[in-house]
Amino acid sequence: MKKFSSVELKRIVENDVNRIIQHAQIVISLTPERPMVFVNPKPALNVLAVIGPEKGAPLSPAANRFFPSAVLLEIGLGRGRPYHKTKNYQKLNSTGNPTAILKRRKWFHLTEQQYIQAAPWIFSALQDLTNEKVARWECNHNNPYRIASERQHFVRRSKAFISKIIYLDALRGARFSVSLEDRFLLSDVYWAEKQNKDVRLYLESLAKKIDLRLNFNNYARKPSQKPRKELSTTERFKQIAAIINEERKKRGSVKDRKDKTKVRDEKLPSRYIVDLLDYLPRRDGESRSKYYYAIAEALGYTGEELREEKFVRQVLPDPQERLNDIQLRITTGLSNRDHIVFEVVSNLSAEEIAADASVST
């Protein structure tokens, strides 16, 4: 780890704060009374940043030093990425190319108290940014973009799902990114996705379809009848895979594959699998579905606690008060990147969006 003198540390921290104040789209400054929010009318850096007093993280070059003002948190807005170096298209160099806005050091973190103070302002700002962005679109809630979607019901006689096409209003939202190092915010984002109404409905529906298909082949229709022949493990996997593929194809997120037994290739997010298993119907006081382990194995889940579940478990108390029923879903989860991307859905009515659009124009 590179060592810096006290003078160098002070200069680096001040330069990072100055870059945020000068270029960031939104700055939340923490004060003893309450957070102060500043909006840059001509931002060159697509981030929402939180600045305030802090000591350096234990393993950072600034460890055990107090700074009255430091960059404590960044959230990428749109294509912006937290703490990353980027180009300033508002200021060109002598060759006509955009100048650089250097990266900001992740030497500091919000304390638990600071995060609880700042979080309601952060999520309120993200919701406002989403609403304002959607209001400017030609296809907003007042003029929705409609997409084709399948609705299915299972016909026992033909042993198949019957589909029909309906058209639904597409949910419109804006995307943001959060660093994997900002754990308080990361936990809130993962917790919020588990409360997302559309995600829950999708997983509950998928769980019922899997359960219905498997139980139709393994349970008697009447108490007097004998159960049907137990499916082999291979047959179970094929049926589970078929349902997953049908649902993913319906959502337009995966191409039709020749080998539909390869469930893992469909990449149902691992964090969804845990909830899917919990949503499986239970009968006669069972603690788990009869097919819990077969479905878990088919989906490649071995029962260990996922990183995403750890984030949810570590969420700070009373997240609903901070999030204020914000509806979001994670679009790019844990990977080789140093951040995740999530999408916030607009919560304005058609009348409010139309009004906002007229004001903004």
Same-domain status, 150 and 103:
no
* pLDDT at residue 162, as a whole number: 67
**Shared domain check, 283 and 205:** yes
Q: Is residue 328 part of a domain?
A: yes
Same domain, 183 and 307: yes
Does 18 reside within a domain? yes
pLDDT at residue 108 is higher than 50: yes
Are 71 and 174 part of one and the same domain? no
What distance in Å separates the CA atoms of residue 15 and residue 156, rounded to the nearest whole number? 68
Q: Is residue 134 part of a domain?
A: no
Residue 307: which of 140, 186, 146 has the closest Cα?
186
Per cent of the chain over pLDDT 90 is: 49
Q: Is residue 361 part of a domain?
A: no
- Residue 349 predicted with pLDDT over 70: no
**Would residue 143 be called left, alpha or beta, if left means φ above 0 and alpha means ψ between -120 and 50 degrees?**
beta
Q: How many CA atoms lie within 13 A of 177 on its CB side?
A: 21
Q: Which residue has the tokens 């194809």?
A: 249
State both tokens at 329: 């879903």
Residue 236 pLDDT more than 90?
no
Residues 150 and 105 in one domain: no
- Spatial separation of the C-alpha atoms in residues 138 and 145, rounded to whole Å: 9
For the chain, the first-to-last Cα distance in angstroms comes to 51
Whether residue 261 is contained in a domain is answered as yes
How far is it, in rounded angstroms, from Cα 222 to Cα 156?
A: 13
Q: How many residues does the chain have?
A: 361
Is residue 59 located within the same domain as residue 157?
no
Instruction: Say yes or no: 186 and 310 in one domain.
Output: yes
Per residue in 137-189, pLDDT (tens digit) is 766 556 555 555 556 666 656 656 666 665 555 567 899 999 999 999 999 99
Q: What is the pLDDT of residue 140?
A: 57
State the chain's mean pLDDT as an integer.
81
Q: Cα–Cα distance between 168 and 150 in angstroms, integer?
A: 10
What residues contact 105, with CB distance under 8 A and at least 6 apart? 12, 13, 16, 60, 62, 71, 83
Which residues does 335 contact at the CB level (< 8 Å), separation at least 6?
A: none
Q: Are residues 312 and 226 in the same domain?
A: yes
Q: Does the pLDDT at position 248 exceed 60?
A: no
Residue 359 placed within a domain: no
Residues 63 and 211 in one domain: no
Provide the pLDDT for residue 92.
Answer: 81
Could you tell me which residue, 249 or 160, shows the higher pLDDT? 160
Domain termination site, one of 57, 88, 109 = 109
Q: Which domain holds residue 58?
A: 6-109
What pLDDT shows up at residue 254?
A: 33
Residues 291 and 202 in one domain: yes
**How do residues 7-48 score in pLDDT, each as one tens digit?**
999 999 999 999 999 999 999 999 988 999 999 999 999 999
pLDDT at 294: 82
1: tokens are 């780890």
CA distances to 105, 146, 250, 290, 294 from 280, in Å:
45, 31, 21, 9, 12
Domain annotation covers residue 115: no
Please report whether residue 123 resides in a domain.
no
Q: Is the domain of 271 the same as that of 152?
A: yes
Total domains in the chain come to 2
One domain for residues 322 and 224: yes
- Split at pLDDT 50, 70, 90, the class of 126 is very high
Tens digits of residue pLDDT in 68-90: 999 999 999 999 999 999 998 88
